[in-house]
């Protein structure tokens, strides 16, 4: 009976009694949700265009952030460093296409997947070699990102909004909006969707797959850089960050591997649910620490009952 | 319209010539054993034969889509507009004006009909206005596509998808279209409709066609010249009209007459030997 109360009664009583705490949790869930969405978005972009599950997406986030901070440490002004980092991400996309994908055409998906694992270690090695392995602080202020926080008096309590979180949400929103426009309104975007639909047909109309791959990997690189900046601003730039990127996995299972809206909604669901669960159920019943695994349980449930995810692309089949 | 009107004033110029090519899949499976053919500028040339004769492989060899299928041209060469093209990518070839419409339509199912058509213009550099004009032109030839322009291609009918695939190829402003099995899975009436459009495109836009077809009857009705492939070799070729009246062709491919003979192998060698050494 006590357990029943703990599961079905107490959490909701707490929510009702301390609405400011609930609001605070929702906000935190929202912010981490947008970041999960962004990481998942990087995966989806590459998966759609080349059916490669890019295991290296997580390390790309770290690598991008590390390059940015590292360049700044070398005395490069912040904005210039940002531009240079974009250049580095382009170079990365270009070399991945030239050195890896081009030679892997027609290989089974699992081989490509293994290749991206290899890429992960190359990026870890290269990052450590050039910029060192110790954690660095993100150059938040130098980039003109807001710091500090605002309090909001509400429901007899206060809710704290970190300014960097607000900025993260806004930037994520703009990035997603930009990608949506790019995909639906531009020539290249249309070609990207065409490639996602049918590689052979795309080739036959003269779309160059090599060019498309460079573009998607670069787009994924940009997304990785944005995620890296936001995430590192909340903690540090360190290789431990890539573990966070693994959270994108349940997000993808939830949203479907091929759906951009799915990545966004999936990210938010995971963000909200893991924060709420940890605070209201995890801490009182299990003693906390549920955030690291809760998302995977949700993913497992989804795999059992809806393996194509919420928004997974349905096969159009004429009868 | 009679066949004679169909032929452009004979310039004698060849737009595509395939010279004795050999194609091997997966390094071991020999599919084409020395195929040669010519397409005069402004002609519709039919490539006929049964399943597995090598029609699709020939077209793929020309359009350079073989690599994606683990095939390669190991001997011979292919000239388009006088230029050797076998080492070009499909993208470069489309830019030069030669595009393939693949067997089985291959429309982009999740894109709308109009978006499908626009992807055809991917390689074009002449600006949005020109592409828009061209789109209107394609809609003139395929009024049905205009009606369905906002529908997802995956949900349109087989005939509409075939039209979409041809229209998409047209958007690249080609001088030559490699058309693979346009009649596949379509009602006879619709096949006629599509072939009529092909003929109009040929006579009015001056697009040359190399047409792979199993439906010998209709292909020879619209083509000016035909090649018959059997097991990776050209076993016969000739002006379409003559092919149609040839006894053996009638028997093997048009289903007229005959008593028990099933393929050219059992009859004469025709030009096989000569081709083989060429």
Question: DSSP letters along B90-107, please?
Answer: HHHHHHTTEEEE-TT---
pLDDT for res B227: 94
Q: What's the gap between Cα A265 and its chain centre?
A: 12
Same domain, B150 and B182: no
Classify residue B104: in a domain, yes or no.
Answer: no
B148 lies within 8 A of chain A by CB: no
Closest CB to B108 among A106, A197, A208: A197
Chain B residues closer than 8 Å to A199 by CB: 68
B210 lies within 8 A of chain A by CB: no
- pLDDT > 80? residue A156: no
Listed in sequence order, the residues at least 6 apart from B112 whose beta carbon sits closer than 8 Å to its beta carbon are B149, B150, B151, B152, B153
Classify residue B81: in a domain, yes or no.
Answer: yes
- pTM for this structure? 0.81
Cβ contact, residue pair B65, A316, below 8 Å: no
Name the more confident of B190 and A245: B190
Which of B141, B173, B205 terminates a domain? The answer is: B173
Any idea what the CATH number is for the domain that residue B32 is in?
3.40.50.300
Cβ contact, residue pair B99, A205, below 8 Å: yes
Nearest to B159 by CA among B170, B174, B143: B143
Pairing state of beta strands B44-48 and B225-230? Answer: parallel
Chain A residues closer than 8 Å to B118 by CB: 187, 190
Percent of residues, chain A, with pLDDT higher than 70: 97
Listed in sequence order, the residues at least 6 apart from A144 whose beta carbon sits closer than 8 Å to its beta carbon are A78
Give the gap in angstroms from C-alpha B128 to the nearest C-alpha of chain A: 10
Strand partners, A150: A161
User: What is the count of structural domains for chain B?
Assistant: 2
Give the gap in angstroms from C-alpha B231 to the nearest C-alpha of chain A: 25
What would the pLDDT profile of B140-185 be if each residue is shown by its tens digit? Answer: 999 999 999 999 999 999 999 999 999 999 999 999 999 999 998 8
Contact B216, B247 (CB under 8 A): no
Nearest to B21 by CA among B45, B37, B5, B42: B37
Same domain, B38 and B157: no
Which of B152, B173, B194 terminates a domain? The answer is: B173
B99 lies within 8 A of chain A by CB: yes
Same domain, B53 and B146: no
pLDDT for res B277: 47
Please report which confidence band the pLDDT of residue B9 belongs to, taking 50, 70 and 90 as the band edges: very low
Contact B177, B193 (CB under 8 A): no
pLDDT for res B278: 44
Give the gap in angstroms from C-alpha B62 to the nearest C-alpha of chain A: 11
pLDDT for res B253: 76
- Average pLDDT, integer, range A281-306: 83
Give the gap in angstroms from C-alpha B26 to the nearest C-alpha of chain A: 12
- Average pLDDT, integer, range A218-224: 92
Same domain, B182 and B151: no
A206 lies within 8 A of chain B by CB: yes
Give me the domains of chain A, ranges plus CATH numbers: 2-305 (1.10.3470)
Report residue A25 as tokens: 């949790």
Measured between alpha carbons, how far is B239 from B36 in angstroms, rounded to an integer?
16
Same domain, B134 and B256: no
Chain B residues closer than 8 Å to A206 by CB: 90-91, 93-95, 99, 122-123, 172
Same domain, B153 and B262: no
Buried b (16+ CB within 10 A) or exposed e, A11-34: beeebeeeebbbbbbbbbbbbbbb
Widest distance between CA atoms in chain A: 67
Q: Rounded to 5 degrees, what angle do the CA atoms B34, B37, B41 make?
A: 155
pLDDT for res B261: 54
Residue with tokens 């938010």: A268
B155 to A197, A315, A318: CA distances (angstroms) = 14, 11, 7
Same domain, B266 and B183: yes
DSSP A136: B
Strand partners, B48: B213, B228
Listed in sequence order, the residues at least 6 apart from B237 whose beta carbon sits closer than 8 Å to its beta carbon are B37, B225, B226, B227, B228, B243, B271
Nearest to A51 by CA among A233, A221, A209, A178: A209
pLDDT for res B273: 47
Percent of residues, chain B, with pLDDT higher than 90: 64
Classify residue B212: in a domain, yes or no.
Answer: yes
Classify residue B213: in a domain, yes or no.
Answer: yes
pLDDT for res B4: 38
pLDDT for res B226: 94
Report residue B9 as tokens: 């004033």
Which of B173, B188, B215 terminates a domain? The answer is: B173
Chain B residues closer than 8 Å to A314 by CB: none
Range of the domain at B226: 12-97+174-277
Cβ contact, residue pair A206, B102, below 8 Å: no
Give the dihedral of Cα atoms A60, A65, A70, A75; nearest 10 deg.
Answer: 140
Q: Rounded to 5 degrees, what angle do the CA atoms A122, A44, A193 make?
A: 120
pLDDT for res B7: 42
Please report which confidence band the pLDDT of residue A317 belongs to, taking 50, 70 and 90 as the band edges: low
Same domain, B160 and B38: no
Cβ contact, residue pair B102, A204, below 8 Å: yes
Same domain, B22 and B155: no
Name the more confident of A64 and A247: A64
A107 lies within 8 A of chain B by CB: no
Cβ contact, residue pair A197, B152, below 8 Å: no
Q: Average pLDDT over chain A, rounded to whole?
A: 84
What would the pLDDT profile of B72-99 be if each residue is shown by its tens digit? Answer: 899 999 999 989 998 899 999 999 999 9
Q: Average pLDDT over chain B, rounded to whole?
A: 86
- pLDDT > 90? residue B211: yes
Lowest mean per-residue pLDDT among A11-15, B42-46, B197-201: A11-15
Measured between alpha carbons, how far is B81 from A144 in angstroms, rounded to an integer?
57
pLDDT for res B195: 94
Cβ contact, residue pair A200, B102, below 8 Å: yes
Classify residue B1: in a domain, yes or no.
Answer: no
pLDDT for res A315: 57
Closest CB to B68 among A200, A205, A206: A200
pLDDT for res B133: 92
Nearest to B216 by CA among B203, B201, B229: B229
What beta strand segments (E) does A49-167 contain?
149-154, 157-162
Classify residue B126: in a domain, yes or no.
Answer: yes
Chain B residues closer than 8 Å to A197 by CB: 108-111
Lowest mean per-residue pLDDT among A81-90, A235-244, B121-130, B232-241: A235-244
- Average pLDDT, integer, range B222-226: 94
- pLDDT > 50? residue B5: no
Measured between alpha carbons, how far is B49 from B36 in angstroms, rounded to an integer?
15
Classify residue B2: in a domain, yes or no.
Answer: no
Strand partners, B188: none
Measured between alpha carbons, how far is A310 from B233 in angstroms, rounded to an integer?
52
Measured between alpha carbons, how far is B36 from B32 in angstroms, rounded to an integer?
10
Classify residue B161: in a domain, yes or no.
Answer: yes
Please report which confidence band the pLDDT of residue B197 belongs to, taking 50, 70 and 90 as the band edges: very high
Please report which confidence band the pLDDT of residue A295 belongs to, taking 50, 70 and 90 as the band edges: confident
Give the gap in angstroms from C-alpha B174 to the nearest C-alpha of chain A: 11
Same domain, B258 and B182: yes
Give the gap in angstroms from C-alpha B159 to the nearest C-alpha of chain A: 13
Same domain, B188 and B222: yes
Same domain, B70 and B129: no
Cβ contact, residue pair A105, B68, below 8 Å: yes
- pLDDT > 90? residue A262: no
Work out the burial of residue B7: count CB atoms within 10 Å of its CB; fewer than 13 is exposed, 13-18 middle, 19 or more buried.
Answer: middle
A108 lies within 8 A of chain B by CB: no
């Amino acid at each position: 009976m006590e357990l029943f109360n703990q599961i079905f009664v107490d959490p909701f009583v707490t929510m009702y009694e301390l609405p400011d705490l609930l609001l605070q949790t929702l906000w935190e869930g929202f912010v981490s949700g947008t970041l999960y969405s962004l990481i998942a978005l990087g995966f989806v972009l590459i998966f759609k265009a080349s059916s490669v599950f890019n295991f290296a997406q997580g390390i790309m986030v770290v690598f991008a952030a590390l390059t940015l901070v590292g360049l700044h440490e070398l005395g490069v002004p912040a904005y210039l460093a940002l531009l240079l980092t974009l250049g580095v991400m382009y170079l990365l996309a270009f070399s991945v296409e030239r050195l890896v994908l081009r030679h892997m055409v027609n290989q089974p998906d699992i081989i490509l997947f293994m290749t991206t694992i290899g890429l992960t270690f190359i990026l870890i090695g290269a990052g450590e070699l050039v910029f060192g392995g110790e954690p660095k602080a993100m150059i938040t202020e130098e980039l003109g990102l807001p710091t500090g926080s605002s309090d909001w008096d509400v429901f007899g309590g206060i809710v704290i909004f970190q300014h960097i979180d607000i900025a993260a949400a806004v930037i994520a929103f703009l990035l997603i909006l930009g990608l949506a426009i790019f995909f639906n309104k531009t020539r290249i975007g249309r070609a990207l969707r065409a490639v996602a639909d049918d590689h052979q047909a795309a080739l036959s109309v003269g779309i160059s797959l090599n060019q498309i791959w460079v573009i998607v990997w670069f787009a994924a690189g940009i997304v990785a850089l944005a995620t890296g900046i936001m995430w590192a601003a909340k903690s540090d730039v360190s290789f431990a960050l890539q573990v966070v990127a693994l959270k994108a996995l349940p997000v993808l299972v939830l949203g479907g591997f091929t759906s951009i809206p799915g990545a966004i909604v999936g990210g938010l669901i995971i963000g909200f649910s893991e924060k709420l669960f940890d605070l209201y159920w995890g801490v009182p019943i299990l003693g906390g620490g549920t955030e690291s695994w809760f998302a995977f349980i949700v993913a497992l449930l989804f795999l059992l009952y809806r393996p194509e995810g919420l928004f997974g692309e349905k096969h159009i089949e004429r009868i | 319209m009679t066949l004679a009107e169909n032929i452009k004033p004979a310039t004698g110029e060849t737009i595509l010539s395939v010279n004795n090519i050999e194609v091997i899949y997966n390094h071991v499976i020999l599919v084409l054993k020395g195929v040669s053919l010519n397409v005069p500028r402004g002609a519709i040339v039919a490539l006929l034969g049964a399943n597995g004769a090598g029609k699709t492989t020939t077209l793929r060899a020309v359009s350079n889509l073989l690599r994606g299928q683990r095939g390669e041209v190991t001997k011979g060469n292919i000239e388009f507009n006088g230029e050797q093209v076998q080492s070009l990518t499909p993208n470069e070839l489309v830019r030069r004006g030669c595009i393939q419409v693949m067997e089985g339509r291959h429309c982009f199912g999740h894109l709308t009909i109009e978006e499908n058509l626009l992807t055809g213009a991917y390689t074009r550099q002449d600006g949005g206005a020109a592409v828009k004009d061209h789109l209107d032109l394609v809609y003139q030839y395929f009024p049905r596509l205009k009606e369905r322009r906002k529908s997802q291609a995956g949900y349109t009918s087989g005939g509409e998808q075939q039209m979409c695939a041809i229209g998409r190829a047209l958007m690249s402003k080609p001088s030559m279209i490699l058309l693979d099995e346009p009649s596949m899975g379509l009602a006879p009436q619709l096949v006629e409709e599509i072939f009529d459009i092909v003929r109009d495109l040929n006579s009015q836009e001056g697009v040359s066609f190399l047409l792979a077809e199993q439906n010998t009857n209709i292909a020879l009705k619209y083509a000016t010249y035909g090649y018959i492939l059997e097991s990776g070799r050209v076993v016969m070729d000739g002006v379409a009209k003559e092919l149609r009246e040839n006894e053996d062709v009638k028997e093997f491919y048009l289903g007229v007459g005959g008593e028990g003979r099933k393929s050219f192998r059992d009859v004469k060698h025709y030009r096989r030997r000569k081709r083989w050494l060429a």
